[in-house]
Structure 1
Amino acid sequence: MSPLFWLESHRGRYTVVRWLFPRLLAAIYLIAFASWGVQYDGLVGENGILPTKSLMENIHAYEAREHTSLFWQMPSVFHWHYTDAFAHGVLTACCVLCVLVMAGVAQGPLLALLWFGYLSFATTGDIFMGYQWDALLLEAGFLALFLAPWRLWAWRSPAEPPRGSIFLLHWLLFRLMFLSGYVKIGGGDLPWHDMTALLYHYETQPLPNGLSWFIHHAPRWFHVASCWIMYVIELALPFAIFLGRWGRLVAALGFLGLMVMISATGNYNFFDLLTGLMAITLLDDRWWPQRLRTWLRISAESPRPTFKHWTQWPALAAVLPVVLVTLLAADSFLAGRIRDYKPLLPAGLHEKLDAPAARTRSFNAYGLFQDMTEERPEVILEVSDDGALFLPLEFKYKPGDPARRPPFIAPHQPRLDWQMWFAALYPGYDPQRDANPNSPMHWFGQFCTALLQHKQPVWALLEPPPFPVEKITHIRARLYRYHFTLPEVRKVSGDWWEREPVGSFCGTMSLRARGR
């Protein structure tokens, strides 16, 4: 079937979307850059956990030794220059560009700069920038280049967008939702199969909020019904995207409803905002209020550009390559996630295109929440100034003190707190095994070392310690199992959590023990 058929199925006018999408995307970019900026020094600054400066020095040393360039393997503005001050300058500049895009200034060129700016930080952010929503933002940002106006000023009277650009955004939304549902049902995880996953989700998700406790205690039938509804939204509604404007309306409402529920019951940074923005691209002009269309000076009588018009060419030319590369990404992704799944596309295509596409982080596959964690292990750090008396060290956002209410922090993402959730799922920290930079727990050792070295940017990511920072000489980690308290227990104690010790996560660490 001709690709033009699918483009014709999206033939409604999307002039309002063309006006809204670049501005709202820039607002999400602004949130992402600001959130990364306030924790940058502690995570990857020169005195952070995984310094970008060290990464770039290693890259330049390799380039000099091998007489080659690694720019295309790790595309980043920091290939040309790096200091912490320069990195913060780039962050500030990107925030300014976001405001300019929201004001309608040179949206196409500035969105291209924002895409490369975020790619620069994602490439050098190591494990702290490896989340699926970072990839989703980059892919949406790349596709926005085909939708946004490429003129100096675009305030009102927007022109109709290229039809191919709308199709590409809808294709991204289809893949995001459908793959997220498919990996749950096809991944073999029992709680997703017997519809009990949401009995655990609100308690075991990375960073619950204050409403999570209440929803967790809803009746069993509510969680089972919610699971069925989620499957309908993620597995059936994506196909409605290609069933005309009424199908797209139903899909948009379903996706938006799911994002509202996710946002209300957990801290998922800008993911739900970005997915909600993708969902509103399904709404053609006729679904928007007449008052808005009048204010934007959108006329339904204006002639529509045909496929032969030059403004349609860039997006049309991108459709087939983007579809092909994203199908390859999905094929590889499912082969690694679904048991007995064998790649459907030719191995030669994978060999030629997978690696170059992966470097841009803009042609992705998605599969959120494939495995449901049924228990909540938590790593609790303890510090000491003498090696004898250890007291707990509190993080700002993740569960620790059972009496502390889970906070509302979205759309900010405290990436260290998120990473501690993943750390608790590993079988402890082994200094010998995890000294390897390729180990998924290498960062944890670097984190503890930075604390013992009294690096202030790293300590700034945590609550004030029980001892003066400069006197802390020892650190260890204990593993606990956390559960939400029952309503009758919380009514008496006021605690949101109850916990029980599981054992040691890592033994005592001290720089003195290493001869320091």
Structure 2
Amino acid sequence: MFFRTCFRPRRGLLADGVRASLAGIEVLDLLAHAPPELVWGLVARGIAVVYAIAFASLTFQVGPIAGREGVAPVAELMAAIRRDFAAPRRWLYFPGLLWLHAGDRWLRALPWLGLTAALTIVAGGPHTPLAFLLCWALYLSLDRAVVLVYPWDSLLLEAGFWAMFLPALAWAPAVAATGAPTPALAWVFRLLLFRVMFGFGKQKFAGSTRADAGFLQGFTIRQPLPTPFGWLAHRAPMWIHKAALALLFVVEVVLPLAIFVPGPASVVFALATAGLMLAIAATGNYGFFNVLTIALCGVCFDSATAVAPLELFAPSLPATTLALQALIVLHTFGALLCLPLNTWASFTWTLWPWWERVLPGALCWPIAVFRGLQPLRWLHAYGVFPPRSAPAIKMSPALEVTWDEARWHTLTPRWWPTLEGSPPRWVAPHHPRFDHAIVYEATGFHEASVLRNLTGRWDPYGHARCSGAGRLMRRVLRGELRSRLFFGDSLPAEREAPVAARVRMYMLEATTPAEQRASGAWWRRTLVGPHLPRARAEDRWLDGQPPPPELWAPEDWRWIGRSRLGLLLRRAAAGEDPHALVCLETTELTRADVDALWDEFVPMFAATDRDDWSQLPALVERVRGRWSGPQIDRFERLLGRYALLGMARCERLFVAGGLRAILGRRPAPLDVETHLHLNLLIKHVIGEGREAYEAMMRQPETAAQWLARMSLRSGWFFEAVLRPERMAHQAQKFRMLASQVEVRGWPRPSARAAKLAAWGAARVRRLWGAFAMIEFLRGEFQEEIWAETPERWPRFELCADLSLRPLAEPGETIRS
């Protein structure tokens, strides 16, 4: 009786649990077999709603950003493309409707046309595939104007591309589609959802260690635009952050595999992903990313189409279907190729200059195919946020202006936190593109970055003389920034233009809820260093216009070869006189400029030790005192052209080592690490004088004799003399980032792991020259003359609970 009394309720509870589980499985199975027409009707309309959100968000942003009076006028960019690329190539490299007209009225009309087309899709009808085509073309066209590089931009362009091939929608109020897509097309959407979620997971967890278990504790504050709940979540106990990270691993790494098993397992993944999207939306502002991902989760509810027999190239299929199937196969192959990459490498991976060194010519064709199709934005890699735990701070650049050289006034963006009282806000699904971009400006990953070719935007104009903050500062100093989009009322419209401006870096630390209630301050604000020095409207280093090909990053070698300079490079490689080629394809460089370069500018430094940069400030002052700004610009362009012609002449000796040279097994005849190093070697030879350069061009094999004398300092010498502000800015950024990465108390890797990491780093440095520049610049431009504000970058230590806290070392001040 006793045992019966004790165990009968437990058997009842067990039976209830089994029945509940079976009922849950039945519900999941029912959801997994929803009518395909209903599923795809909802998915298509969901994508259309996101299109409407995206276009509506751009209606009032595109003019201030890319109009003729905007910060980065797209008309200037289109003119530069016409200057640098011949037709019809430029239309293939940069497709879009802005080739019809780049004026302000047409530019402002594009998002309104897109919004109208998106709403017609929501309304339904037989025209919906055509409307999807229009939405995709309009959004792709705006890529030139506002640089659509965020993960959700890429996801919308890719999902929108395939949405053009979905069946038409029934007229509202019916929500179903007129039919189901082909099984291959259904799998494209499933694979897309997998790549997004698994891409974020692999980027976040690959290479992580136990010390990274506190990742979310710092991330809730460091993320670009935290919400009030995200700001508050930072204060949650560490065990909650660790548990949330473990749950994140399950949803982003484990569950995505369930999408390949149509049925209840896929539904579980979809529901978990939707829940994660709601949690992300509660803590951070990521535009329409959450809405779009939830919409794509709907594809998991159609198991019937996913398990239907998959006929790719059956002879009985219509020609249009066969063409679509072939496109799907090509896309799937490309998706597998770029799966290991992250979001920012999506735009550059086919352009990396070392592919021809690594792969035999017969195996380079896939790279060439996807390079040719990349302008359509139909294929992307996904994944952001490295796995490393980081301190819970925000590095906030503040633009400060003065009208009297005595008092400085801070300009405050609407959404980005700048002052102690700047509240975190909810703004998504609207995407404030200026505010969101500030996080990349703060870290130095912008147009002036030496990392331009490793990660960045598709076009080569992402490599500029100054960053977006510099362009914005120039507009403010000239009194040309009339829109309230950027700084609202903090920049009085009725006042004259400021006489000077600067950008300084502040560290923001979240206050406690009690402190916030008592003082109203959301942040503790500390001045920690410079960002851009004091400038006036006439300062030429603030020039942010699209640069010509000779000023692009040397590792944008593929783009340089595609430009009008490509023919000159091929002629130089064949042995033609570089002096006869250097002024071709431009009317701005003359023979007088060439003579001044070789007879006056280069000889000026004949007695200078180019490895010694201690005299750099005096040399910069000497150059600027002798020549006008336009003449200095022409010298810079000529140096760039001569260096490119030399690279073309010597490249065959550099690439001859192939993969063996990269692996360190056999040196190349000209054994420099990367295309960047090759460029620096040629500039070193230019510094040796005209005769040395001409001898190298006659006999490229002699270039190797200069390797022992060349250093990064001597190679970068002319750049440092002509553009010191840009290089000093990058050096400061790299030191700032190092202060947050080199954490005291961080676990050291084992000897074996350290040895493997060193070997891998050495190989990577033979692929991208930017890594050598990071290490090099961290030790340069440390004199006070390069920074009006002293560098007091904070240092951090790893605590027992795996959080990171600021550390003040003896003799080191981190607060102003």
TM range (shorter): 0.7 to 0.9
Change (3 A) 1:456 1:430: closer
**Aligned residue among 46, 53, 71 for 1:49:** 71
When residues 397 and 84 of structure 1 are mapped into structure 2, their CA distance, relative to the original with a 3 A threshold, is same
Partner of 2:329: 320
Aligned position for 1:221: 239
**Residue 40 of structure 2 corresponds to which residue in structure 1?**
18
SS state at 2:496 partner: helix
* Alignment partner of 1:165 is 2:185: yes
Which residue pairs with 2:58 in the alignment? 36
Partner residue, 2:766: none
Equivalent position SS for 1:370: coil
* Letter of the 2:235 counterpart: H
1:508 is the counterpart of 2:529: no
- Classify the secondary structure of the residue corresponding to 2:420: coil
Pair 440,116 (structure 1): closer, same or farther in 2 beyond 3 Å:
farther
- Equivalent pairs counted in the alignment come to 481
Shift of 1:285: 8.0
Q: 1:443 pairs with 468, 491, 516, which one? A: 468
- Deviation at residue 328 of structure 1 after TM alignment: 2.3
Q: CA offsets per residue over residues 167-226 of structure 1, 9 Å max, x none?
A: 11000011111121112222x4558x6321101111111001111122111111100000
Corresponding residue of 2:434: 416
Offset of residue 437 of structure 1: 5.9
1:229 maps to a residue whose letter is L
Deviation per CA, 1:419-448: give whole Å up to 9, x if none: 1111111299999999x9614953221111
2:488 aligned partner: 463
Percent sequence identity over aligned pairs: 27
Q: Structure 2 counterpart of 1:234, which letter?
A: E
Cα displacement (A) at 1:460: 3.5
Q: Once the two structures are superposed, what CA deviation does each residue of 1:232-273 show, in whole Å capped at 9, x if it has no partner?
A: 111111110112311111100111111010001111110111
Q: Does 1:358 align with 2:374?
A: yes
Indicate which of 194, 198, 203 corresponds to 2:221.
203
1:84 maps onto 2:109 in alignment: no
For the residue of structure 1 that corresponds to 2:438, the secondary structure is helix
Q: Mind listing any 5+ residue stretches in structure 2 that lack a counterpart?
A: 1-31, 350-354, 453-460, 541-627, 630-816
Tell me the alpha carbon deviations over residues 303-352 of structure 1, each in whole angstroms, 9 at most, x when there is no partner.
Answer: x99956659656544331210122223356599799xxx99999424432
Aligned pairs (5 A) from 1:223-372? 223-284=241-302, 307=311, 310=318, 313=322, 315-331=324-340, 347-371=363-387
Q: Match of 2:158?
A: 139
Q: Per-residue CA shift, 1:84-118, capped at 9, x if unaligned?
A: 10112222111111111100031101101111111
Instruction: Between 495-504 and 170-179, report the one with greater CA deviation.
Output: 495-504
Deviates more, 1:374-383 or 1:255-264: 374-383
Q: Say if 2:509 is the partner of 1:483.
A: yes
Question: What residue in structure 1 maps to residue 167 of structure 2?
Answer: 148
Larger radius of gyration: 2
Q: Aligned pair in 2 of structure 1 residues 476, 42: CA closer, same or farther (>3 Å)?
A: same
Comparing 369-378 with 138-147, which one deviates more in the overlay?
Answer: 369-378
Q: Name structure 1 gaps, 5 residues minimum.
A: 1-9, 287-299
State how far apart, in whole Å, the 1-side matches of 2:79 and 2:343 are. 35
Q: Which residue is 1:183 aligned to?
A: 203
- Supply the AA of the counterpart residue of 1:386: D
Q: Distance in 2 between matches of 1:313 and 1:150?
A: 23
2:33/2:301 contact within 8 Å kept: no
- Secondary structure at the counterpart of residue 277 of structure 2: helix
SS state at 1:503 partner: strand
Q: Is the 8 A contact 1:380 1:478 kept in 2?
A: yes
Residues 168, 319 of structure 1: 8 Å contact kept: yes
Matched residue type, 2:405: G
Q: Any idea what SS the aligned residue of 1:206 has?
A: coil
Report if the CA contact (8 A) 1:376-1:483 is conserved: yes
Structure 1 position 51, deviation (Å) = 0.7
**Which of 39, 46, 49 is the aligned partner of 1:27?**
49
Question: Which range is displaced more, 304-313 or 41-50?
Answer: 304-313
- Alpha carbons of 1:222 and 1:306: their partners in 2 closer, same or farther (altered >3 Å)? closer
Q: Could you tell me which residue of structure 2 aligns to residue 405 of structure 1?
A: 423
SS at match of 1:382: strand
Q: Which has the higher contact order (CA 8 A, sep 6+)?
A: 1
Q: Distance in 1 between matches of 2:75 and 2:164?
A: 31
Please say if residues 137 and 274 of structure 1, whose CA atoms lie closer than 8 Å, have aligned partners that are also in contact.
yes
| Two-structure CA RMSD over aligned residues (Å) | 3.5
Change (3 A) 1:12 1:152: closer
Q: What is the DSSP-based 3-state SS (H/G/I as helix, E as strand, rest coil) of the residue aligned with 2:410?
A: strand
Which residue of structure 2 aligns with residue 104 of structure 1?
124
Q: Could you tell me how far apart the structure 1 residues matched to 2:334 and 2:450 are?
A: 39
- The answer as to 2:412 corresponding to 1:394 is yes
Question: Does structure 2 retain, via aligned residues, the 8 Å contact 1:329–1:354?
Answer: no
Q: What is the distance in 1 between the residues matched to 2:437 and 2:367?
A: 31
Partner SS, residue 475 of structure 1: strand
Q: Go from structure 1 to structure 2 and tell me whether the alpha carbon gap of 1:488 and 1:151 turns closer, same or farther (over 3 Å shift).
A: closer
Quick one: distance in 1 between partners of 2:62 and 2:267? Answer: 40
CA shift, 1:466, in A, is 5.6
Q: 2: CA distance between counterparts of 1:232 and 1:60?
A: 49
